[in-house]
Structure 1
Amino acid sequence: MVALNKKIKTHWYLIIILVIGIFITIPQIHHHITIIGADGLFHFNRIYDTAMQIKNHNFSYFIQLYGFSNSGRMVTSVYSPLITYIFGGILLICGSFYKFEIVTRFLFFILSGLSMNYALKMGKVKNQFMIQLVCIMYAFSPAVIRWDAAQNFTSIGAMLIPLVVGCGMRMVNNKDEPINWVQLGTIMAVVVQTHLATAIQSVFLLVIYAIIALIINRASRKKLLKNGIYAVLLCISLSLNVVAGMFELYNGNYIVPIVKFDFVDGKGIYNILQIFSGKWVNLFFILAVSSTLLFFFKKISLAMKVTGFLSLTLFLCSTTIIIDWPTIMHDSAVFSSLLQFPARLVGPATVLALITVASIGDFECTNFFIKQIRNGLILVLLLFLVVNMRSNFRYNRSASHNVLVSKSTTIPYIGRDPKTLKHITYLMKQPLNEQDINYITKSTSDYMPANHSIDNSVYWDYNNKIIQPTKNKNYKKEVAQHKIIVTWKGNGTYDNPPVAYYKNNHFKLNGLPVIPRSSGGIIKVPKVKGKIGKNVMEVTYTPKKVSVMMLWIAMLSWISIVFYAFIRLFRQVKRSFLFSN
């Protein structure tokens, strides 16, 4: 009973998170609306596809059979595969996108709080009030809340960043055991399976902490390097399915890249002077961290100093004060594709800032001025929580009224009038079916095969070659075991069935194997000469043997890790039971 009371006392923030979460979600629940943000339709298609794979026991890892208008696109195998299959299971249980959105929203609130709690524990923060406050704040920070507003996977990555920072701080704080290689390797693998841009940021953070640990702790250098190598090997083993997806996608294919941002007008770059645009939050974090480092520098640990300076560096790097982002993004394809926009750095910067400021609760202050600085920071944190909670409520109310935020959404035949929105709301609350995912579509062309090398997305060509031919019912599609079947009425001339044409696709036309030509234009779809009357084309995908082998190694590695975790949990429960008796 004592242990239970202690657990409740140290985790009351989870109850507060649920209460605030209910308050923020009231507009959506009241209107029974599925909020469809800028990235919603793109990710809903991926999640719907995995849900249908699970439901029909018809698994297709490398291409999507059910989503994206049954076009056989290759997306999930390179974009958060593990998380997308988990989401597919949740969607299947929920039965509708409306319920799915509510459930995942609260799930992320709780997981973000727990993730931050872990980081503060690794940072050796002891003041329970500050721990609880910062955990609540992070659960509703702009970095995390973007899933609710725009269904942005960056926010899911942000939810995991505290775990990465916790592992980094452990390298500096724990001189005897700086790295638990199973823990670190598994956490990084989960990040890779969630969001590659976040994984790259995480590697950068861990390298900084590792360098500091190697400098200050000579006695554990060998152990840190050895366990670090083990963690890397474990992460690679658990992530080979993503490597396999990348290999299949880019080997022998010209691929349409993700959309590029125009940085000339400052889009995608945090402007430190825009304090009246809602981005004042970032300036607040900069001032809070600067105050903490300035007034408590001698009191905070080395790991916390590193965390604070990293936070300030990332905040400043996301602006144009230090780096000329428009020039770099224009000249560097690597930066523009991996980072996409510098404002992404604000996510990890916020995590590092909150951890740094949380440390001030541990210090006894005899100096009156310093004490008032600390109390002032705590009060501002509380004020920030209240203001942010109100802002999130207002944003959700606005999003619930708007329903469709994306300008690239394609709605057939009718415009964005109240009748349309009411119909969309109705569809999204119904049990899962093709109609709700295909009625409204977004012409995002990311990862589609192209006929030649290009440097930007081509929404219009994807709309013309995939979306409109499918919506106009010129081609009928159905899904069979591991294949897509396209039927249409031909007149003996060449036709362009609206499916993707990757190198390892295989086609059968009217029962006979065929190697199609490539259609004209940018997006690559098959060009085949059918017969007069009904034509039937089967589309399958056959990956390379090395890709299949990598997929199996990754699956077996995850099974082993889950089994290992279960054994450890069983032993801990057994030990606790024996001690209690």
Structure 2
Amino acid sequence: MKVKCQKLINWALPYLAIALMIYIIMYPQIISHGMILGTDSIFHFNRFYDAAKQIQLGNWSYFQSNYSFQQSGRVINAVYGPFFAYLNGILLGLVGTWFRYQIISSFLVYFIGGVGMYQLAIKARAGRRIALLVSLIFLCIGWLPRWELAQNMNAWGAALAPYMVMVGLTMITDQHQPVHWLSLTALMVTIIQIHLLSSIFFTLTLIPFFIVGLIRTSQRGPMIWETAKAVITTIILTGNVWGALLMLNLHNHIAQPAPFDMNINALKPSQFSSARDYLIYFCWLLFILQLLYVLFNFRRSLVNSMVTIMGAMILLISSTWFPWTTIQQVLPTLQTTLQFPSRLTVIAYPLLLTGLAISCQQLVDRTPRSELRSRLITGLLLFTLFQVAIPTTTIVFRRTAIYESDEVLNTSTALAWVTNNSKSLRRSVHTDYPGQLLLKVEKRAPDYLPIPKKYLHRFYVRSYAYQDQVIRPARHFKHTVLSHGRLQLSWKAKRAGKVRLPVITYHESQLVVNGHHLQNYQRSRVGAPYVQQRRGNNTAVLSFHQATWFTVLLTVALIGLVIFLAYGFYRSLLWLPQKYQQIIH
């Protein structure tokens, strides 16, 4: 029994080390109880709060935002990680405050990513020590820390990317069964329900692995069939995502995200940063040496050659050395879709770190003097870890310190209004009433608004229009959420005439003003309706009526996910005893 416990502890040690590293990174925030409110915090907090209130009150509105975004009724969650928003709403409801939510969700992002990188390196046949060190390095670079620092959704793509690479490695190493439809489906459904752009990255990355696997395997028919099963199942289980996008774009001109200068937002070398758009010089040198090693030992390992060359190519494309200035002139749509070329490091880093782990293990396994070489390589990886961990922890410390300053917020980008009372703002992230924060900080984000065609490409016009037409006047109306996901506005007018309501209407929206169902009415450049008010008390009721075919897609996706999760749970019950036996033996 003692031997079994010892083996179990030894197996758990790498995961405890990953948890300890996460604690070190997050320590400045944990010890000070400081909240980091970054570039995307308020936007996503609005999304998750709306989902939390729907769950709490049982008043569901899949499309219409009735509890957040100034209670404007705009569509966000339905087309942006819908089920993931509800999961975050559940987490927020359980923990109660934004601070607790940020600590727990940040830990989850780090831990999922760290464990994934460790398992990926192990799958690539690296030893436990090397696998652990590259996983700790992975925790400190790229987009993974950005969830704690700014609540950027790319962090979730970064956390799941190692699992995607594992699926790719199976395609080229398992010649008997290159594709396991269950794991491929689980991966793609998860990332599509979280972040659509990352799912595109994942798909494009898996294509080369699939082609090589198809060439190498003698089981081409079964491989294609398993892939087809995964594709069909994924389409069914994500019908709520692509169905909502299709329905909304059929009859509305939907605003695209903000355009960005791609060259400015490409990856750059840095002396003291490896987060988001930067990578320290030493890591550049390490990745170049890794590429040279593979080029001189090309035939030694297919896995190493493939992940390294793919990773190096993607890293180059993500950097300022790629002609992004010219490309964005030729393909301007990339400025609103890809936006930041540095996002591609979500894929590049796990690929290159996998290759680095393989190369290090190959050098360690060489004889003679393998022990000396092992110490040198361990020292090199530890040095790299310190090079990336110190800057990342320092950034967390600096951003946490801003919380105690008069500014409180880490950014003022696109903020329409922030309370002058910094003390009340700090209290709002620790109170059990998380909606208070969203009343003290409001952001003008015109994503997914129904825009008249002539304003589609004028981002800043519609951004400030949303601020002037929805955010500022919203406080002059009383908002009440009615049953069946309806939203009621009440106001008192001194005179009759035309008034613009601070809500957003789509082709699918139904608007009833003072008991009259409106069919044709004028709308502003951001979709706010102009209606006739009467003197005295007025009411308007807004509802969103989704297409019947979408309701079918949503129902099928929900039922399918329940069945898929139940099947996955059943398979896990069968797998866990076998895994336990492997550990203790």
- TM-score between both structures, scaled by the size of structure 1: 0.91
2:467 equivalent to 1:463: yes
- 1:489–1:408 distance in 2 versus 1, CA, 3 Å: farther
Deviation at 1:325, TM superposition (A): 1.7
Match of 1:408 among 410, 413, 418: 413
Amino acid corresponding to residue 495 of structure 1 in structure 2: V
Deviation at 1:498, TM superposition (A): 0.7
- For residues 495 and 307 of structure 1, the distance between their equivalents in structure 2, rounded to whole angstroms, comes to 60
- 1:10–1:389 distance in 2 versus 1, CA, 3 Å: same
1:300-331 Cα distance to aligned partner (Å, 9 max, x none): x212211110000001111243x422232233
Aligned match of 2:344 = 345
Secondary structure at 1:553 match in 2 = helix
Aligned match of 2:565 = 562
**Contact in 2 for aligned 1:11/1:132 (Cα 8 Å):** no
Secondary structure at 1:499 match in 2 = coil
Deviation at 1:77, TM superposition (A): 1.2
1:443-463 Cα distance to aligned partner (Å, 9 max, x none): 111111112251253321111
2:514 equivalent to 1:510: yes
- For residues 164 and 386 of structure 2, the distance between their equivalents in structure 1, rounded to whole angstroms, comes to 28
Aligned match of 1:166 = 166
Secondary structure at 1:58 match in 2 = coil
Aligned match of 1:356 = 355
- 1:552–1:77 distance in 2 versus 1, CA, 3 Å: same
Secondary structure at 1:34 match in 2 = coil
Aligned match of 1:48 = 49
Aligned match of 1:37 = 38
- For residues 243 and 477 of structure 1, the distance between their equivalents in structure 2, rounded to whole angstroms, comes to 31
Deviation at 1:372, TM superposition (A): 8.0
**Contact in 2 for aligned 1:74/1:249 (Cα 8 Å):** no
- For residues 413 and 228 of structure 1, the distance between their equivalents in structure 2, rounded to whole angstroms, comes to 50
- TM-score between both structures, scaled by the size of structure 2: 0.91
**Contact in 2 for aligned 1:245/1:547 (Cα 8 Å):** yes
- For residues 216 and 417 of structure 2, the distance between their equivalents in structure 1, rounded to whole angstroms, comes to 63
- For residues 394 and 184 of structure 1, the distance between their equivalents in structure 2, rounded to whole angstroms, comes to 37
**Contact in 1 for aligned 2:521/2:531 (Cα 8 Å):** yes
- For residues 512 and 110 of structure 2, the distance between their equivalents in structure 1, rounded to whole angstroms, comes to 48
Aligned match of 2:405 = none
2:260 equivalent to 1:261: yes
Aligned match of 2:177 = 177
- 1:71–1:331 distance in 2 versus 1, CA, 3 Å: farther
- For residues 75 and 216 of structure 2, the distance between their equivalents in structure 1, rounded to whole angstroms, comes to 46
- 1:7–1:174 distance in 2 versus 1, CA, 3 Å: farther
Secondary structure at 2:144 match in 1 = helix
User: Unaligned 5+ residue runs, structure 2?
Assistant: 403-407
Deviation at 1:105, TM superposition (A): 1.3
Match of 1:270 among 267, 270, 290: 267
1:341-371 Cα distance to aligned partner (Å, 9 max, x none): 2111112101101111111343222377x99
**Contact in 1 for aligned 2:273/2:392 (Cα 8 Å):** no
Amino acid corresponding to residue 393 of structure 1 in structure 2: T
Deviation at 1:136, TM superposition (A): 2.2
The total of aligned residue pairs comes to 565
User: Superposition RMSD on alpha carbons, in Å?
Assistant: 2.4
- 1:513–1:173 distance in 2 versus 1, CA, 3 Å: same
Deviation at 1:376, TM superposition (A): 5.0
2:503 equivalent to 1:499: yes
Where in structure 2 are the equivalents of 1:444-459 lying within 5 Å? 444-453=445-454, 454-457=456-459, 458-459=462-463
Where in structure 2 are the equivalents of 1:206-285 lying within 5 Å? 206-217=206-217, 219-263=218-262, 266-271=263-268, 279-281=278-280, 283-285=284-286
- For residues 87 and 144 of structure 2, the distance between their equivalents in structure 1, rounded to whole angstroms, comes to 19
Secondary structure at 1:392 match in 2 = helix
1:3-41 Cα distance to aligned partner (Å, 9 max, x none): 554343233122122222222223223332221100111
- For residues 4 and 509 of structure 1, the distance between their equivalents in structure 2, rounded to whole angstroms, comes to 69
Amino acid corresponding to residue 555 of structure 2 in structure 1: W
- 1:7–1:519 distance in 2 versus 1, CA, 3 Å: same
Aligned match of 1:145 = 145
Aligned match of 1:103 = 104
**Contact in 1 for aligned 2:63/2:77 (Cα 8 Å):** yes
- For residues 10 and 538 of structure 2, the distance between their equivalents in structure 1, rounded to whole angstroms, comes to 67
Report the identity percentage. 24
**Contact in 2 for aligned 1:96/1:430 (Cα 8 Å):** yes
Aligned match of 2:328 = 329
